[in-house]
Amino acid sequence: MSHNAHDHYQALRFGIVMIGFGLSRTFWLSLLLLGIFGALDSISMVIRDVLMLTRTPDAMRGRVAAIEGVFPGSSNQLGGIESGVTAQLCGPVASVVGGGIATIGIVLAVAGLSPELRLLPTSPRES
């Protein structure tokens, strides 16, 4: 299985954990799910870094690393705005559960529309 397939599974797990967190009514379960979410985020970050280092041509690696460095910070800010607006309009539970459902939907759409991305090998040995 390619690392990209693993990254898709990681994103699916994000969505599932977020739905569970949004529906949880128990403090300890909520805390556990947030811990799992943090672990999944760390694993996903490592997968993205490995993909960047193994699939980016040497001549482009600095530019790609710069974009990769800027994107998480800006997307977190935009995500915070989106989550706040959605929570204000629909309520916090609907915002979190809806975000989990949207994550799953986007991952399935990308995986379905781009099988070559999903199956892209990550090392010369897999090519």
Which segments of the chain have a pLDDT < 70? 1-8, 118, 120-127
Output the pLDDT for position 1. 46
Output the pLDDT for position 114. 80
Q: What letter does residue 59 receive in the DSSP assignment?
A: G
User: Which stretches does DSSP call E strand in the chain?
Assistant: none
Output the pLDDT for position 98. 94
* Global pTM exceeds 0.85: no
**Could you give the 3-state DSSP secondary structure of residue 25?**
coil
Output the pLDDT for position 75. 79
